[in-house]
Structures are given as C-alpha cells and as structure tokens.
Amino acid sequence: MNQQQQSLWQFVQQQSDKLLSQTLEHIGLTLVSLLIAIIVGLPLGIFIARKKQLSGTVLGIAGVLQTIPSIALLGFMIPLLGIGATPAIVALFLYALLPIIRNTYTGITGVEPSVKEAALAMGMSARQILFKVELPLAMPVILAGIRTATVINVGVATLASYIAAGGLGEFIFGGISLNNSNMILAGAIPAALLAILFDVLLSVVQRVSFKKLKYALFALPVIIVAFAVYYLVPSASGGKLTAGFTPEFMGRQDGNLGLQQKYGLKIHTTVINDAVMYKAAFEKQIDVISGYSTDGRLKAFNLTVLDDDKKIFPPYYAAPIVRADALQKYPGLEDALNLLAGHINDSVMTELNYRTDQLHQTPERVAKDFLVANNMFKPSRKGKAGVIRIGSKVFGEQYILAEMYRMLIEGNTNYTTSAKTGLGGTKICFDALTNNQIDFYPEYTGTGLLVLLQPPAVKLQQITSNKEKTYNYVQQEFNKKYSVKWLKPIGFNNAYALMMRRQQADELGIKTISDLKHFLDRN
Amino acid sequence: MIRVQNLSKQYGQVMAVDNISFEVAEGDNLILLGTSGCGKTTTLKMLNRLIEPTAGKIWIGGEDITAQKPELLRRNIGYVLQNNGLFPHYTVAENITIVPGLLKWDKEKTRNRIHELLQKLHLSTDLLTKYPSQLSGGQQQRVGLARALMTNAPVLLMDEPFGALDNITRTKIQEEFKELDELQRKTIVMVTHDVHEAFELGNRIAIMDKGQIVQMGTPAQLLFKPENDFVRNFLKAQRLQLELKAITLHDVWYSLPSAHDLPDSGLPLNTNESIWQAIQKLKGDVKQIMLKSAQTNEVKLVTFEQLMAAYNHYQNTLTA
Ligand SMILES: Nc1ncnc2c1ncn2[C@@H]1O[C@H](COP(=O)(O)OP(=O)(O)O)[C@@H](O)[C@H]1O
Ligand SMILES: [Mg+2]
C-alpha cells in the first residue's frame, strides 16, 4: 500500500502538467455546461410553473434525455457537432437540464399562495413578484437542483475524453486500458474531489441570502465569455494536422511516447475514444488517428495505414494460447487449432472485420464463409469426447476467430465446445485461462509481451523490432511462468498503426510516419 | 367611496357572487358577514382586482377600477389577509416598506412613518430587524396591518384579519383596532364569519348568503328590523349581547336618571360607546359608572340596573 501511494505520488509529480490541464478542462466543461443549463433551465422551469399544463411534457422530455446512456449521447453528437468541447458541453448541458428545470418548477410552485397573494395585492408587478418573492423563496430548492446537476456533470464529464474534449477522463480511461492504477487514481481522485468541492461551495451559496447572490449573477456572463474564449482559441489556431489518439495510446511507450522520442513527431493531439475515432477521422474532425491495422473501419472509412519505418510499434501477431494441461488432456486439439495458422493476413482480417463491424454480418456467418472458401469447413461431428471451452475478448475480431476455432474443433475432432466470449480485457481473459475457466483464447504477441510479461526496457528494445524474436520470447516465457503454450501464429499482425484519410495522405504524399514528421516540420 | 353595481362571479356552475350591488361611504366600515363559502372573499378580492368579475362594475373614489393598471390600483388599497401573507424572507422593516418602495418614497419619510405606526400599533422597534417567523401570531398580524396602513391608502380591505388568532389576543387586537385613529378616516371593507366581530367593528354590515346580500344596514337595523327569517335566525343565538353592542349609550341617554352628587375622580365613559361597553366596566366592586354625553357634555352616574332598565325601555320603543 505504501509502495502504491509512493508511486501514485510520483506519477502525479511526473504528470503534474497534464493533471493540471485535465483538471482545468474538467472544471471548464462542467461549469460551462452547467451555466448554459442554468440559463436555459431556470427560465424554462419558471415558464412551466406559469403554464402548468406544459409541465408534464417538458419534464418528460428532460427526463428522457437523462436516461440516454452517456456514450450513446456523445455518439449522436459527432455527426451533428463533430468532436471536442462543443458536443461534450452540449451533452453535459442536456444531462444537467432535468434537475434544474424540475427544482425551479417545484420551488416556484411551492411558494406559499398567501405570500404571492399579498405581493399581488400590494401592487407588485409580475416581474417584481418573480424576482422579489418567488425566486428568492424558491432559491434553496433551485440551488439544490443545481447541486445535483453539478455532481452529475463532474461525473459525466469524465466521458468527455471519449470525444477529444479532454478532462480527467483521459487519465481514468487511459489507466483502465493500460491497467495502470496510478493513472486511474490520478484521474479519479481529483474528479471526486471536484465533485465534493463544488458541492460544498454550492451549499455555502445556498445559505447566503438571495440579495448577495444577485451580484454573483453579474459575474456569470464574464465566466462564460472567459471559458468560451478558452475553448475557441485552440480550435481557431489548428490550421495544421490534428491527431486523435486513444487514452491508452497516449500513455504507452509503443504509442505516443515512442512517436515523440523515436520520430520526434510534434503534432497537435487530442484524446479520443476508440469507438468514435475512425468516424471522427472520416468526418475530417481529426486527421491522424491511432488505430489497429486490421480494424474493419479502415476499409469502411477509407483510411490508410502509415508505414512504421522506424519500427516503434511492436508486432501483434495473433495466435491461440492454450493451457499446457488442456493440450495433454485433449489430444488432437493442437492440430485442430493449428489448421488456421498462416491463413489470414492483414488485409483478409481487415475484410473479415469489415463484414462484422460495418456490414453487421454475424461472426458465425463470416467465419463459416471464410472456412468454406478456403476448403477448411467440415460439418460438426457432434462428438462426445469432451468439452473445449473457448474464450475471447470483447471485440469483433476475437468473436470471428472464436467461431472459426469452434467449427474447426467440432469438424475435425470428437470434442464439443462451449464459448465464453466477451471477456472484458486482456487481464480478465488471461486470468480466466490460468484459473482453468477457459482452455484457450486468441492472444497477440505484443499484448502478451507488454501487458502480461512486462519485461525490462532493455529487453524490450532487443526484441520488439523483430516479429520472430517477440514470438519466441513470449512463447518461452509463458511456458515457463504460466504453463501456457503459444500455438502457431494465424498470420495477421493487428498492431498499432497511425492512419490518415487515404485521400489526404495521397494529396500530401505521406506514406510513412517519417513522411508525416517531415510534412509537419515543413509547415 | 366604493360603489359596486350588479357584480357577479361565476366558477363553472357555481355563482360565487350573484349580482350584488352596494355602496360604502367614505369613512364607513362595512363588514361582509356570512357563513363559509357564501362569497365574501370573492367579493372582497374583486374590489382590488385580485379576481376579475364575470359581470358588473366597481368604482372607487368615483373612478372605474378597470380604468388603470391593477398594480397601480392596488398600491392605493391596503390589504390584510387572514394568515398575514408576510414575506418570510424579509425582515419586519422590509415587509412594511414594500409599498413605500413601490411608490418610491424617500428614506426619511419612510422612516418617520415606520416609527409613527409602530407606536400606534404597540410594536417595539426591536422587531424591525426580526423575521416574521420570530414573531408571535399577534405581532405578525399587527405587522400585517402596519404594512397595509403604511402609505395611508384611503381604502382598506381585510379578509378575516383576526381569524387566525387565539381568543385573548383577538379581543385585545380588536380593541386596539377600534381605537386606532388612522382607521377612523378610512373606508374599510372587512370580511368575517364572526357575528360578534361584525357588530363590534362595523358601522354597516352586509349579511351574505349564496353569493347574494340578504340584508345590509347598521347593526341596529339588522337586529331590530330584520328583513327576513334568514337574518333573524342568523343573529338569534347571540341576540341579547348583540343588541347591547348595537345600542349606544347615546341611544338610551334620555331614559337614564340625571346625576345629583358627582365624585371628583375617574374618567367618564363617552356616550358613543355601546351599553355593552358600559356593562363591561361594571364588574366586581364597581357599582356605578360615570357617563358623559358626547353632544352636551352632561355627566350622569348609573348602575347596572339603571342601564338594563333604559335598554328595555329603548327596545320597547323600537319594536312597538
Ligand atoms: N377559484 C375558484 N374556483 C372555483 N370555485 C371557487 C373558487 N373560489 C371560490 N370558489 C367557490 O365560490 C364560493 C365562494 O367562495 P368564497 O368567496 O371564498 O367564500 P367565503 O370567503 O365566503 O368563504 C364557494 O362555493 C367556493 O367553493
Ligand atoms: Mg373567505
């Protein structure tokens, strides 16, 4: 634990610049969206308090908005508003609306009727009654709504990092994909502290009298303008190329760090989620992305892979990994799995992924079509010799491979299969394997090396530039450490790759990462 | 001062107020009296346009009340509600200076007026910085009254102003209310369902039923010349007490014996007061009370028995 705290502290010190900018971005996203939600929600709440017959509809719509899953909402935003701060703020704004409208409505309708009547009878105008009687008396309830909205927004703002809007989500989601708890904590702790801080501040405001609060209202436009400028300036200066990298890629030696060190690449970078990255590149929101070389979306969005001429991305050749005792227990299994070896290259895998991801064909159909076309398909023997448990991670390519292995095993041996597909990430899948919950799953040499074995930097230097060396190393070490066997590689290399729109790359004459660097240096 | 003509208010099928007409002379104190739901509040609120009538017209000070904006109309009409309607987020001082604020009075004038009123209403200046929730019910109601009187509006509307108070406090505030010089000059319309309060405070009473005015007149007229059984029955239960309240000492002055030897001390009771008032003073050891005619300054010394004899005599002449 002490070790952990030590290194968390070190991490924070190392990354203090990033932490500061992410925190500021986070505060900015939260406050700007909140202020807009107040500017819209407060009058709307007042309006439906006047026209009660509309209250059901308005509160209903705001309620539905809030039930849309955050990622889906962010996804809808991209075609409309692109990526970056704007769609994130719009999404956060929509989430903050309900508590503000609802509490304004409740607060105003809850004002004692005799007080309103007295105000009216003394000759106050509707406007005076609103500002001198209704709003001040409703203010504690309204502020409670604003508090709720703020806490929601601090939480949801972590997701802004999915669409390149920054914020503490960069650390949190980067940490999750890199299996780096310090990074997760460096994002999660400040996010939690922000939520608490805002909550406390607002509870203080809640106790201050409305009269003093009025002066704060004048500060509002100033804050909005300040943040609007803050958000507009960077995008205005972005005349050159912009990169969108996943949080995972940002933090890896074989990712952005390597690009900076080995290539000296200096490019304006935003952090973005894998799910929306390809689309954002296609929509010209960003120009360079960090993808996977066999991703089906390469084809769907007409992107091209830049050649990694300095070999910073380690090879990610896929091969089934099997527990040694399972190989012994099920003779013939190894041969069946090896049937696929060498048969799928990068472009074939991209094509197969394209069919599931973009054409929405089932993995089963894609797998069968492929095996049939390659004369490898045999109908199931419906054998009774035992059950082989197949695992896979939670993305398309792994589902296709799992289906192929199922058909190969059932067609060529007397075993049946059961599938445990969709196991979260590398760690979960591998733990399931070593804990004897599955018998094998397809893994990538690079992942085995960097995520599971994590050898010292010197060793990495020696082996990552060469695919055979990498394969041999992981094969030896897995056998030794875990009694897990790497079978023959399937053929394709699903490595990290930098990609650009094909058309833009052609126009600019960029084929390799070095070309990209030279282009950026010239401009 | 106030003239109401063929006024009606309809809610769906309910005629809350059904074609009523009446006038209130300047300085009069008209009580709208009747059981709950008979349309008193609705009538009152139409006077300052908190409710717009379905039909009919209202003039105040000779002017049609729809001729000016309702806000401006209301700033010249004081209004006191049953549960005071004080702003809970305003101090007492802020509450009673709302209307002066709306009328843009200067600070000096406002301050002087506050102190004048507080004194008249027996409120301590310490209360000025307190919030309504820190006051007793009686104090709240006094502040509510102060707020309505603050700008000397010539017309005052009151909806069950003492209804939420306990008996002792109510009696006390009613007493003060009667003695308040500010109110003598005002034209007041007050709503109550309490017959005693009506007879205590009103110089004219309109008895209402089902949205209509059944009879309107002075307390004595209602008691001694009821126009129908409704009025008669309405007042039956408390008849004796009401009559004692309705008849002034002046009414029976002629049949009270003249005084022979007067004691030199003690303040005499004015003959504008009711017989009831005089009887109130004849409690315990006090056997005689000194009365002084408001007209002739003549002074008489009377006992309880003499008062009752004069009352009987007067009653006989009325009903004869
Ligand atoms: N806003 C309203 N909507 C419908 N009916 C009403 C409304 N206000 C009053 N009424 C009805 O009008 C009648 C008179 O009410 P109100 O003037 O308040 O009586 P009071 O003050 O004499 O108790 C009652 O029957 C009451 O139910
Ligand atoms: Mg009423």
SS3 B50: coil
Provide CB contacts within 8 A for A134, sequence distance 6+.
A46, A108, A111, A116
Pick the CATH number of A242-310+497-522 from 3.40.190.120, 2.60.120.260, 3.40.50.360, 3.40.50.300: 3.40.190.120
The runs of H, that is alpha helices, within A169-323 are 169-178, 181-207, 210-236, 247-250, 258, 274-282, 296-300
Q: How far apart are the first and last CA of chain B?
A: 35
**pLDDT of chain B along its 320 residues, tens only?**
999 999 999 999 999 999 999 999 999 999 999 999 999 999 999 999 999 999 999 999 999 999 999 999 999 999 998 888 899 999 999 999 999 999 999 999 999 999 999 998 889 999 999 999 999 988 999 999 999 999 899 999 999 998 888 888 888 888 888 888 888 889 999 999 988 889 888 989 999 999 999 999 998 888 888 899 999 888 887 888 888 888 888 888 888 888 766 665 567 888 888 888 888 888 777 788 888 888 888 888 888 888 888 888 888 887 66
With CA atoms as reference, report the closest residue to A271 among A295, A239, A242, A299: A242
The runs of H, that is alpha helices, within A263-395 are 274-282, 296-300, 324-329, 333-338, 346-357, 363-373
User: Residues A168, A156: contact at Cβ < 8 Å?
Assistant: no
Residue of chain B minimizing CA distance to A117: B85
With CA atoms as reference, report the closest residue to B44 among B56, B62, B32: B32
User: Residues B251, B316: contact at Cβ < 8 Å?
Assistant: no
The answer to whether residue A230 scores a pLDDT higher than 70 is no
Pick the CATH number of A318-494 from 3.90.550.10, 3.40.640.10, 3.30.1330.10, 3.10.105.10: 3.10.105.10
Note whether A118 contacts B74, CB cutoff 8 Å: no
CA–CA separation, A339 and A405 (whole Å): 9
Q: What ligand 1 atom has the least distance to the C-alpha of B44?
A: 17
Q: Whose CA is nearest to atom 5 of ligand 1?
A: B11
Per-residue pLDDT tens digits for A422-469: 776 787 889 899 999 999 999 999 989 988 888 888 888 888 888 899
Alpha carbon separation from A437 to A321, A331, A389, A474, A482 (Å, rounded): 14, 19, 8, 22, 15
SS3 A275: helix
User: Residues A471, A321: contact at Cβ < 8 Å?
Assistant: no
Is B14 close to ligand 1, i.e. is its CB under 6 Å away? yes
B147 CB within 8 Å of a chain A CB: yes
User: Whose atoms come closest to the Cα of B159: which ligand?
Assistant: 2
CA–CA separation, B15 and B10 (whole Å): 4
Instruction: Please classify residue A170 by burial: count the beta carbons closer than 10 Å to its beta carbon, then call 0-12 exposed, 13-18 middle and 19+ buried.
Output: buried
Give the pLDDT of residue A288: 93
Is B37 close to ligand 1, i.e. is its CB under 6 Å away? yes
Residue in A118, A125, A128 nearest the CB of B85: A118
Put simply, whether the predicted model's pTM sits higher than 0.95 gets the answer: no
CA–CA separation, A472 and A401 (whole Å): 22
Interface of B with A in 150-189 (CB under 8 A): 157
Which has the higher per-residue pLDDT, A206 or A232? A206
Fold of the domain built from segment(s) A2-236: MetI-like fold (1.10.3720)
CA–CA separation, A335 and A412 (whole Å): 9
Token pair of B94 as six digits:
């802020």
User: Residues A269, A234: contact at Cβ < 8 Å?
Assistant: no
Instruction: Please classify residue B156 by burial: count the beta carbons closer than 10 Å to its beta carbon, then call 0-12 exposed, 13-18 middle and 19+ buried.
Output: buried
User: Residues A442, A408: contact at Cβ < 8 Å?
Assistant: no
Q: Domains in chain B, please, with CATH?
A: 2-237 (3.40.50.300), 247-319 (no CATH)
User: Residues A444, A489: contact at Cβ < 8 Å?
Assistant: no
User: Residues A107, A139: contact at Cβ < 8 Å?
Assistant: yes
Per-residue pLDDT tens digits for A494-517: 888 999 999 999 999 999 999 999
Give the pLDDT of residue A236: 39
- Residues paired with residue A303 on neighbouring β-strands, in sequence order: A501
Measured in degrees and rounded to the nearest 5, phi and psi for residue A163 equal: -120, 40
Q: Could you give the count of Cα atoms lying within 13 Å of A405 in the half-sphere of its Cβ? A: 32
Domain boundaries, chain A: 2-236, 242-310+497-522, 318-494
- Strand B187-192 vs strand B204-209: parallel, antiparallel, or unpaired? unpaired
Is B38 close to ligand 1, i.e. is its CB under 6 Å away? yes
Q: Is the dihedral of CA A134, A137, A142, A143 positive or negative?
A: positive
Q: Looking at beta carbons, which residues of chain B come within 8 Å of A131?
A: none
DSSP string, A80-91: HH-SSHHHHHHH
Residue of chain B minimizing CA distance to A114: B85
Alpha carbon separation from B121 to A416, B152, B182, B301 (Å, rounded): 97, 14, 10, 33
Note whether B50 contacts A120, CB cutoff 8 Å: yes
Provide CB contacts within 8 A for B185, sequence distance 6+.
B27, B154
Measured in degrees and rounded to the nearest 5, phi and psi for residue B147 equal: -60, -40
Q: Looking at beta carbons, which residues of chain A come within 8 Å of B77?
A: 121
CA–CA separation, A511 and A509 (whole Å): 6
**How large is the C-alpha radius of gyration of chain B?**
21
User: Residues B40, B208: contact at Cβ < 8 Å?
Assistant: yes
Per-residue pLDDT tens digits for A84-115: 888 889 999 999 999 999 999 999 999 999 99
Per-residue pLDDT tens digits for B220-256: 888 888 899 999 888 887 888 888 888 888 888 888 8
Residue in B77, B88, B102 nearest the CB of A124: B102
What is the least distance, in Å, from the CA of A37 to any CA of chain B?
A: 27
Q: Looking at beta carbons, which residues of chain B come within 8 Å of A209?
A: 89
Q: Could you give the count of Cα atoms lying within 13 Å of A447 in the half-sphere of its Cβ? A: 25
